[in-house]
Amino acid sequence: MKTFFITFTVVLVLFSCSSSKRTQKKISGPIFGTSYNIQYYTSSNQDFSKSVDSLFFIINKSMSNYQNNSIISKINRNELVTVDSHFEEVFNSSKKIYRQTNATFNPAIGALVNYWNFGAKKNEDALDSLKIDSLMRFVDFSKISLLDGILLKKDQTYIDFNAVAKGYAVDVISRFLESKSVTNYLVEIGGEIRVSGRNINKDKLWKVGIQEPNFNGETNFDKVLSLKNESMATSGTYRKFKIDANGNRYAHIINTKTGYPTKTSVLSVSVIAPNCMLADAYATAFQAMGIDAVKLFLENHPELKVYFIFENTNKKIESLNLNNFPVN
């Protein structure tokens, strides 16, 4: 199966190895250019691996920029195609987040993501400021609409749901498990995570770890925390970035106001939210917004808990938790 995410894992699930009399199921494997891990408890010994594979296939078919025959690829080629319910749900949620973040979260930025070689299509041309200016004319997500299942956009606009679809897939799998009366589960895809109930083996809440930013690729934990019936996603810049001639580091997240990669001291942002699609989208937006702007934003969004890891002016790593992000 071709996949559509080139990404990195910044959250590692901490699985229990304890034994239990109850039936514990684990499913894992590669997906979306990363990996997934699912753990759930069932009284009927149900194996949902085939159903999970089917759901992944459907989501890929809907929103994968890396699949030539997906719905989103056909839309980006300006072919007439009716979107499915998954595409519609992500599109409508993205519209709302786009407005709330003053266009910082913007799925219409895809052409520029590709131009900077952060996306599905590779650019072999030399970077040109005039070309960037020309592409900026087609990134207005407010002018894109859905009418009777048909996406209306300018021909040159390229849609990319990479910053939200992985979190959405976590939600889809979680809703499927709940439809099968599973109340204790953990779903993780490439670091985006949703939990419900408890880790029955340990009779404790599910524990997850936030990875410490390491440019050398080593894996250490900055913190470990418990989640209760909530979702968390992390956006990091320490494994996917560009460095200019002056040594400045630029994030893989494109600034939607300038068309250039975001220059930032933020190394990672973790967001706890009611669902994983929201956590995924806001983590991406907050990476580009910066700490001060996020503090103001959170005054009207008590449902979001945020944790920053960043470099201070002395190039020392610091952390900051906002809206009562758990510090245990």
Tens-of-pLDDT digits for all 328 residues of the chain? 444 433 333 444 444 444 345 789 999 999 999 999 999 999 888 899 999 999 999 999 999 999 999 999 999 999 999 999 999 999 999 999 999 999 999 999 999 999 988 888 888 888 889 999 999 999 999 999 999 999 999 999 999 999 999 999 999 999 999 999 999 999 999 999 999 999 999 999 999 988 877 655 555 556 789 999 999 999 886 555 555 556 655 567 788 888 888 777 888 999 999 999 999 999 999 988 989 999 999 999 999 999 999 988 888 889 999 999 997 6
In the chain the domains, ranked by start, together with CATH numbers, are 11-322 (3.10.520.10)
Q: Give the pLDDT confidence score for residue 262 in this predicted structure.
A: 77
Q: Give the pLDDT confidence score for residue 248 in this predicted structure.
A: 57
Q: Give the pLDDT confidence score for residue 1 in this predicted structure.
A: 43
Contact 149, 82 (CB under 8 A): yes
Q: Give the pLDDT confidence score for residue 95 in this predicted structure.
A: 97
Q: Give the pLDDT confidence score for residue 246 in this predicted structure.
A: 60
Q: Give the pLDDT confidence score for residue 28 in this predicted structure.
A: 96
- pTM exceeding 0.85: yes
